[in-house]
Amino acid sequence: MDKWSKHDLLDLQTLSAEEIEHVLETAKSFKEVSSREVKKVPALRGKTIVSLFFEPSTRTRGSFELAAKRLSADTINMSGSGSSLSKGETIVDMAKNIEAMNVDLIIVRHSVAGVPHKLAENLNASVVNAGDGCRSHPTQALLDMFTIKDKLGEIKGKKVVIVGDILHSRVARSNIVGLTKLGAEVTVCGPSTLIPIGIEQMGVKVSYDIDAVIPDQDVIMLLRLQKERQEEHYLSSIREYAKTFGFNANRLKMAKKDVLVMHPGPTNRGVELSGEVADGARSVILDQVTNGVAVRMAVLYLTLGTKDVSKEE
């Protein structure tokens, strides 16, 4: 079996454990490129990649663009505002028109779940999901898994707790799928209003008490508290959340001495984690960002290296 056969990367549900491992291995070889004086290889010379971001982004958008440029692809970035969507064009028509300029791959982030899948159904170009609604953020989970493997040697058997708003988190969903496929023991922890009913069916444990789970964990992955959730009455107050679930120096003392503290960003300092912990020795938050470029180089390289025969005449 070829190690990679996917024309698009839409989620991690459709990848086998072997395919996830193959992305992580490929990313390992690309990581070195970013530390060179000349941070460029010709792997995707002549390819054209377009980013379509309909939601704000710092890390994902920046690292996809750097990844494409470091592989020598031609890139452009487009956003919803300023495009012809405001004149009534549908997103599929917009993407088809972009594709008509002989574009090879489209990266898309959208607040509506399923938009990348819709584009993939309608385009011959490869589609890579950069985050869709609450559904999926596959490259974030891949870079998180890369970071865990890089720091701890392996993922199988490691205990990972994901803390926060699991209900609305595409990062949590993709990490649960990826980490359980690679054999991690995943626990989700947060207020009962923000943990989906039945999530155990995804192969995770559930806890509502962060202090009870901290001592066992190899990785503590904190999620951004989406502050608008307080207005939607999922939370009594942000202050109460910070007291009950915020990860701070006192809680760090309860953890294993070599625990990894992770966060996909953007962080709310003083809410889901203290500034002291975010900047402390156990935090790998900026390593995650660094690794994101290598992982996205691997994703672009692999998806552009395949042909989708199902879409051929």
Binding site for ligand CP (CB under 6 A): 57-61, 131, 140, 264-266
Quick one: 261 exposed, middle or buried, by C-beta within 10 A (0-12, 13-18, 19+)?
buried
Nearer to ligand CP, 140 or 303 (CB): 140
Nearer to ligand CP, 7 or 135 (CB): 135
Nearer to ligand CP, 185 or 264 (CB): 264
Distance CA 126, CA 137 (A): 16
Shortest separation between residue 255's beta carbon and ligand CP, angstroms: 23
| DSSP conformational letter for 158 | -
Distance CA 290, CA 256 (A): 24
3 in Cβ contact with 304 (< 8 Å): no
Distance CA 42, CA 233 (A): 51
Measuring CA to CA, how many Å separate 274 from each of 43, 144, 190, 251? 41, 20, 17, 10
Shortest separation between residue 136's beta carbon and ligand CP, angstroms: 12
Residue whose structure tokens are 């701070």: 248
Distance CA 38, CA 40 (A): 6
Shortest separation between residue 57's beta carbon and ligand CP, angstroms: 3
Shortest separation between residue 40's beta carbon and ligand CP, angstroms: 23
Helices (H), the chain: 17-31, 59-70, 91-99, 115-122, 138-152, 170-181, 210-213, 228-231, 238-245, 249-254, 275-278, 285-304
Nearer to ligand CP, 185 or 291 (CB): 291
CB neighbours of residue 233 within 10 Å: 8
Nearest to 71 by CA among 104, 114, 22, 120: 104
Nearer to ligand CP, 180 or 226 (CB): 226
Shortest separation between residue 265's beta carbon and ligand CP, angstroms: 5
Shortest separation between residue 21's beta carbon and ligand CP, angstroms: 22
Nearer to ligand CP, 53 or 247 (CB): 53
16 in Cβ contact with 70 (< 8 Å): no
CB neighbours of residue 309 within 10 Å: 8
Shortest separation between residue 185's beta carbon and ligand CP, angstroms: 24
Nearer to ligand CP, 80 or 265 (CB): 265
Phi, psi of 4 (to 5 degrees): -145, 130
Nearer to ligand CP, 265 or 270 (CB): 265
Shortest separation between residue 131's beta carbon and ligand CP, angstroms: 6
